[in-house]
Amino acid sequence: MSDKTSPEYTDPWRLRATYIVMILLAGIFIFRLYYIQILHGAQYQARAEDNRLTEVKIPAPRGVIYDRNDYLLVRNIPTFNITITPALLPDSDAEIQSIYRRLSELTGVPVSKEAPPAARCIPGRGIKQFVEEGDSLAPYEAWPVACDVNEVTARIIREAKEDMPGVNVEILPVRDYTTGILTASFIGYLGPISELNKEYYETLGFVAGRDKVGYSGIEYEYQETLAGRNGSKLVEVDVAGKILHTIGDVIQPLPGYNLRLTIDTRLQTAAATALQKRMDFINRYAGERRTPIGVVIAMNPSTGEILAMVSEPSYENNRMARFIPADYYSQLVADERGKPLINHSIQLVFPPGSTFKLATGIGSLNEDVISPNRTLHCTGTITVANRYFPNDPGKAKDFFCWKDEGHGNVNYIHAIAWSCNTYFYKIGGGFEGEIEPGLGIDRIGTYALALGYGNPLGIDLPGENGGLVPTRDWKRRTQGENWSTGDTYNASTGQGYVLATPLQVLTSAATIANGGSVMQPHIVQEILDGEGNLIETIKPKVLWNLTDGEITPDTPDINIEPWVMQLTQEGMHMVTLPSGTAYEYGNLENISSAGKTGTGEFCDTVAREKGLCVPGNWPTHSWYVAYAPYDNPEIAVVAFVYNGGEGAVTAGPIVRQVLETYFTLKGIDAAGQP
């Protein structure tokens, strides 16, 4: 037995403790191996496979857009990005700096410039910073250091690639909007996938940070149709992200479909020119930006096809094609009066003024409130008791006709032709001793809704506003007041709380023009594949018919007698004749037409700040809506000019020019001329 004082002596408890620790450690390792390889082996195997295998999405070509005459409105053109793969750069720092200097000379991007990290292709940093970021995240991934370089520069760099290891030229498609600002309001633009929608688009196979999606207009509304479907391939990568090889079959991308629109670019150009010239004249004459907003829409009243749609001011969507410039976007947003990013044709609402009288007139004739030949006397002013409930004696309130001296005796047709306010006040709200009780706000609302006011019409564009046809209940809920007699008088002439989009005003006139069918407006005519083969035709859709005698759950609960529509058409035709309100400014020389002028009073924030909201002398919007030929309508056009003054004077000539252009183009096309 060893001496405890001997150096070779070891206490048995120390040996036992050591053995116990070794056994415990071995047990822990064995248990851990069992846990990883047996209990969760499949899970960790899957993780390893995920790290080893990566799915690469192959971008699908986006569909292009044509007008009705096959003029290319939107196409895809190549854009050239200069990329650097950090892992493929040479080892020598001197060689790397030489590559940086050469690229800087060719592209204009500085060799080194510190700036906060941002999305790819956003300028502001130097080449060195771009590469350092890429090297830290994915060294075998190609990182863009200069985007959207010109083709000459791209060719020079491509030819010099052998002398610049790691440098490459990336060719990507980008949208080219050939008509730019002319059609931007309904074409729209593309933008990057936002964090808000990232999960949704990734489930559809898109790649956030690379793929772009529609942000507005047709690009947004027909996103799924235009985008197609990305392809994919499974690749094996090493720990640095370098692709080793492809595994399995490659799923090829499915190109997006092409669209053919109902728009005639030639007519669109004429409409934009007519509107811009009129607005410029008003603003120059006023010495300020008096009228910031204008709209022109042309439609085929029989089909609902939109032939032209102009919204001013607009924006240059080509500036959004590569990336959305922060300064330009901020400039557009800052224009609170013009709101250029909004399609004013369908997204903003205004008091329709006298164009709304057609709903009041049709309802009054159809409901036997007045007979067509009966005359009402207009002296220029009427006084009524403005009551808020049936037993309220009311307070006297004056209502004025636009013609100070009045129109004298007026029947239905002349009331439309002369746009006599007094006549429509009386048939809409009633007048003691002449018309009792009048059509009333409830039935005015019914006929307005029937003609297309008060609800979205379902045009194939995003953000359509439904407008407002006010009711008694609406006023109680939103204004905290009962409905008054004066409210009905104002609504009878398209004033007060009544609000409408230019498209709704146009649809009401188009419905009268075609005899009573409310057509769903649409801007896409056909969907085509990449070879030009027809995939789908967007057929005209009748939302409801007002004169066929059929009442269904999907249509307004009224039936308008055909003779009522006919008399209304005659009144609108007389608008363009020598005694009518549009004769001097809106009449066509060789083609018969019909129309309705409108002058909508308004008092918005700008007018209020300038002290212009003077009762009886408020500023006015300008409206004119017309169709031609009168006996066989082919086209209906509306023009709206914000703060444009009298409807006939400002909007009338715009509509006339669009109609004249339409028939001139029709003659050219018939003759087979270019």
The residue to which tokens 């930006």 are assigned:
289
| Pair (155, 269) in one structural domain | no
203: domain CATH number is 3.90.1310.10
pLDDT at 36: 64
Q: How far apart are CA 374 and CA 642, in angstroms?
A: 36
* Beta carbons within 8 Å of 47's beta carbon, 6+ residues apart: none
Q: Same structural domain for residues 135 and 59?
A: yes
State the total domains in the chain.
2
pLDDT digit string, tens, across residues 210-245: 899 999 999 999 999 999 998 877 767 665 556 666
pLDDT at position 2 is 52
Question: Sign of torsion, CA 382 386 391 392?
Answer: negative
> Residue 269 falls within a domain, yes or no?
yes
Does one domain contain both 297 and 405? Answer: yes
pLDDT tens, residue by residue, 56-81: 788 899 999 999 999 999 999 999 99
28 lies in some domain: no
Reported as a single tens digit per residue, the pLDDT across 368-387 is: 999 999 999 999 999 998 88
Q: Containing domain of residue 430, as a range?
A: 265-670
Exposure on the CB side of residue 346, measured as CA atoms within 13 A: 23
Contact 627, 636 (CB under 8 A): yes
Q: How many angstroms separate the CA atoms of 271 and 653, rounded?
A: 11
For residues 397 and 565, give the distance between their C-alpha atoms in angstroms, rounded to a whole number. 33
Q: Classify residue 176 by its DSSP letter.
A: E
Give domain status of residue 655, yes or no.
Answer: yes
Residue 36 belongs to some domain of the structure: no
DSSP state of 319: G
84 and 126 share a domain?
Answer: yes
Q: Is the pLDDT of residue 33 over 90?
A: no
Contacts of 639 (CB under 8 A, 6+ apart): 274, 275, 294, 295, 296, 622, 623, 624, 625, 651, 652, 654, 655, 658
CB atoms near residue 106 (< 10 Å): 17
Looking at residue 478, the DSSP 8-state letter turns out to be H
Distance, CA of 105 to CA of 82 (rounded, Å): 13
629, with CB counted inside 10 A (0-12, 13-18, 19+), is middle
| Helix ranges (DSSP H) in 147-244 | 151-159, 184-187, 198-203, 217-221, 223-227
Element (H, E) at 113: none
Tens of pLDDT along 78-137? 999 999 988 889 988 999 999 999 999 999 999 988 877 766 777 778 888 888 888 887
Separation CA 423–CA 407 (nearest Å): 9
Q: Which residues contact 447 (CB under 8 A, 6 or more apart)?
A: 359, 360, 362, 363, 366, 439, 558
Kindly state whether residue 73 falls inside one of the protein's structural domains: yes
The CATH number given to whatever domain includes residue 635 is: 3.40.710.10
660 domain residue, yes or no: yes
**For range 385-398, the mean pLDDT:** 85
Helix axes 440-450, 485-492, angle to 10 degrees: 30
Asked whether residue 181 falls in the same domain as residue 289, the answer is: no
Name the domain boundary from 212, 236, 261. Answer: 261
Do residues 322 and 287 share a domain? yes
Whether residue 254 is found in the same domain as residue 386: no
Closest to 157 measured CA to CA, from 147, 167, 146, 148: 167
C-alpha–C-alpha distance, residues 191 and 63, integer Å: 16
Q: Are residues 218 and 274 in the same domain?
A: no
Asked whether residue 152 is assigned to any structural domain, the reply reads yes
Residue with the bigger pLDDT between 288 and 269: it is 269
- Tokens describing residue 291: 């009228």
Helix 485-492 to helix 421-429 angle (10° resolution) is: 130
| Residues 257, 170 share a domain | yes
424, 357 Cβ separation under 8 angstroms: yes
Ranges of beta strands (E only) in 333-394 are: 376-378, 381-386
Same domain, 157 and 249: yes
pLDDT over 60 at 48, yes or no? no
Model confidence at 436, pLDDT cuts 50, 70, 90, reads: confident
User: 190 by DSSP, 3-state: which?
Assistant: strand
pLDDT at position 11 is 64
Contacts of 156 (CB under 8 A, 6+ apart): 106
pLDDT score for 429: 95
Q: What three-state secondary structure class fits 251?
A: strand
- 330, with CB counted inside 10 A (0-12, 13-18, 19+), is exposed
**Taking Cα atoms as reference points, which of 373, 469, 370 lies closest to residue 425?**
370
Phi and psi at residue 410, in whole multiples of 5°?
A: -135, 130
pTM summary value: 0.89
Considering the domain architecture, whether residues 559 and 414 belong to the same structural domain is answered as: yes
Domain boundary among 232, 261, 290: 261
The separation between the first and the last C-alpha atoms of the chain, rounded to the nearest angstrom, is 120
Final residue in a domain of this structure, among 235, 261, 287: 261
Find, among 123, 114, 183, the residue nearest to 325 by Cα. 123
User: Do residues 192 and 212 lie in contact, with contact meaning Cβ atoms separated by under 8 Å?
Assistant: yes
pLDDT of residue 369: 97
Q: Which pLDDT score, from 0 to 100, does residue 673 have?
A: 67
* pLDDT value of position 7: 58
At residue 56, the pLDDT reads 74
Helix and strand numbers, DSSP H then E, in the chain: 23, 23
> pLDDT at position 42, please?
62
Alpha-carbon span 599 to 362, nearest angstrom: 20
Residue 190 lies in a domain: yes
Asked whether residue 88 falls in the same domain as residue 235, the answer is: yes
